[in-house]
A and B are shown apart, each in its own frame.
Chain A
């Protein structure tokens, strides 16, 4: 017996890409039986597969088997193009009618309907259409794609949280739902103040500002890499005291409105200050003086990070290339089950016999 909270919950992952695979990754970790129908061979890179597939059962299934499995699933997560499932006899509305408790999550670049629903998209295209890209990058250069595949991951994260929320609703009320997650919409609703500002003030689109929203809100080169500071107004005083240059006590830097007009001058003071410290020193100073300071850490840095190890953050899995480490449980407080990496198709017989036979 185990107290994994999704023990016995049957999840079907269809489509094979990062969005569906990430949405179900945490379900597997919290104990659900996640069955992954293999998508196209290139749907995931080997590294993506290593961090997204642990603990899942990987199978091959034809259309009629897939329908049988979907009839017995509690949660279905798919990231195929709109219309694809229906073409394979897996129309979500009819699945929902036949299995009313089913929670079905469809994750696509632009959602299930509307003029762009059939558009071809990659992470880059979906990221462009979400609004965040217009704000990212240097003002004198092209808008920039941020780390990795964030349009994909963000939609997968929303897919996970929406799915477990709907699943709770299904437990309470006996009825699931079909959740239509659009990568574009996941981003368009989180444009910080910039989205509502443009709409409310009518002052035109917000311009991207590179690594410096303001001098006290940005990233600077430091002695051994890059570090950043993010001060709200109430933290500016402590930051200036920490930097220590007496000129910062003058009216033009102390006064919020005047400071904005002397932002270049302020940056010119902060560049050498950051350059004279290492990331480690800056993090320590920030913590000591209650100034929000961060350092640009790499994944290799983080694999060595003391706090993360103390909190047992990383999972590991055996691969042909050795032992891989990657982010594990997303939070503490509920039991987490790191799982092994299954070979493609390895669980086909097992799953088909158990799922289809048990319910037959």
Chain B
């Protein structure tokens, strides 16, 4: 479906072109806005106002309609995120098995909180409701890779792999 990250950096022009092609390809599909936003976020990394305006124009919708949807869903970001996104699961199973401790360790280590990005742009932290990997609780997911049975000690080693 959508690619999680782009291997090589595209120019803005190429990014807009890519997005336009996606919109045109699916323009007959009813109610496709959220899928377009997913694609846009995977291309640009986040959804700044300029991108929202572009989508509004291409899809013939008002900008307020787009912004309304973007701000409703927690998956859509309006600020740039780090090169790597650490999603920490705070679902019940993870919570019962010590996710709070892992989060505290993470926040302490990276000196950022949930929803923030490190100064060097390396990591962002997101909280997740449940990643559905409760069998491995507590769980974190970095860029789509799931790490289970997390402990504060294991964290260091794992973060090292993401530059």
Q: Do A and B originate from a single complex? A: no
Which residue numbers of A lie inside 8 Å of B, CB to CB?
none
Which residue numbers of B lie inside 8 Å of A, CB to CB?
none
